[in-house]
A and B are shown apart, each in its own frame.
Chain A
């Protein structure tokens, strides 16, 4: 199973590429939605890159409580552990 550091590195890589943001803006406590400038349609792209990179599906319920990138890393860790 991927370590927290590996998850962070992978997430930074695909999010910066997909949403065209600098990796340096992806800080643990930064707001995910604001940093990536996500609207409701963009969440589909987020779901696609998560599945492509980690091999699991996420639902709207999974994003409840996900505010910061740290929350997002927690979600990825939890989903990977469940695989």
Chain B
């Protein structure tokens, strides 16, 4: 684990109750990985499941934490990213409350300060949501 929940929360712009990430597990030039436990008190918890918006936001916050961490490691200020667009979104299944969600964000392309990434989250290897996002990074 690279960053604990407290450390991860400090480097992303989102605030409670809108935090959809627990720990940043790894971050490099190729991909970012994070973990997140679906809790009953989550604002997107419904009928024992965590709903789609939480999973999409989980991908976005993994991007935010990853860019921020990498920016700090490079000696600069934390980079802040904004979702420009979401495409190729597929929802396969929703996690149960209590499940640990593992998320991978892969960098596909970069043009100037716009990054095209692919995000996927899983529970026990089963794909939940996949999508591509264009992230505009403030540099």
Contact = CB atoms under 8 A, between A and B. Distances in A.
A41 B85 contact: yes
B115 to A, nearest CB: 8
B108 interface: yes
A65 interface: no
A47 to B, nearest CB: 5
A21 interface: no
Interface size class of A (residues with CB under 8 A): 10 to 19
A60 B109 contact: no
Contacts of A58: 111
Contacts of B116: 44, 48
A78 to B, nearest CB: 18
A47 B111 CA distance: 7
B94 interface: no
Nearest to A60: B112
A44 to B, nearest CB: 5
A37 B136 CA distance: 19
Interface of B: 84-85, 108-109, 111-112, 114, 116, 134, 136
Interface of A: 40-41, 43-44, 47-48, 51, 58-60
25 contacts: A40-B114, A41-B84, A41-B85, A41-B114, A41-B134, A41-B136, A43-B111, A43-B112, A43-B114, A44-B109, A44-B111, A44-B114, A44-B116, A44-B134, A47-B109, A47-B111, A48-B108, A48-B109, A48-B116, A51-B109, A58-B111, A59-B111, A59-B112, A60-B111, A60-B112
